Amino acid sequence: MKKLAMYSFYFVILSLLVTPVLAKGKYDLATQKGIYQYSNYTASKSLSVLILLDVKDKRAPEEKTGGLLDDQTLDEDWKRPMETMVTDILTKEMQKSGLIKLIPPTPENTDYRVHIEILSLYGGTKEREDASAIKGWFVPRTAIGTAKLRMILEDKTGREIINIDFLSTTEQEMRRMSNFHRGAIQNAALALRETVGQILKDLDNRMRIISRK
């Protein structure tokens, strides 16, 4: 009985140690190092305009709960809501680039409104089909990331200036001993980084043209 009690004691201690590791919400796209890598994009011209940023999550349900790929990213992986993390990323990227003023705009003083719709953003893995038996054993899976964002730019009157979708997909070979799920997380972040880069360049070019008018 003493041994059984001792084993039960160790089991409880082990459970307490392991549970935080398995806790819901391990990853944060905007703040966690090694997940989303911020770009070094620099705007061609610093514009004296205030932009109000609004982000909405419009992903399909299966992107949030699974069913599209193996090791798929799920909403329970993230520490915060997707639209909150993407808002933080876009705000920091725009500020770092010099594209917008650092003064937080309000609906009363804003010059333009940028609406971002998250149409797709997830990662996962799939079996490799293009490798020999030997290479397929050592590198059995491919991590995939997809990010599709819609940008709608409006002036202060609400007139729509542009409405355009940006899409990026990424792939990365995964070795047998790799953490496949973390690979899925990182590829989702990489696809988002590439899509955000497209948005920065397009917004930079369009705002520069608008400012000349």
Terminal-to-terminal C-alpha distance of the chain: 86
Give the pairing of strands 51-57 and 112-127: parallel
pLDDT category at 143 given cuts 50, 70, 90 is: very high
Per-residue pLDDT for 164 more than 90?
A: yes
Integer CA distances (angstroms), 22 to 27, 127, 182, in order: 12, 25, 13
Average pLDDT over residues 68-91: 96
13-62 pLDDT, tens digit per residue, is: 333 333 333 345 799 999 998 899 999 999 887 777 788 899 999 999 99
4-13 pLDDT, tens digit per residue, is: 444 443 333 3
**Predicted TM-score of the model (pTM):** 0.83
Domain 25-212 is classified in which CATH homologous superfamily?
ABC-type transport auxiliary lipoprotein component (3.40.50.10610)
Average pLDDT over residues 153-182: 91
pLDDT category at 209 given cuts 50, 70, 90 is: confident
pLDDT category at 207 given cuts 50, 70, 90 is: confident
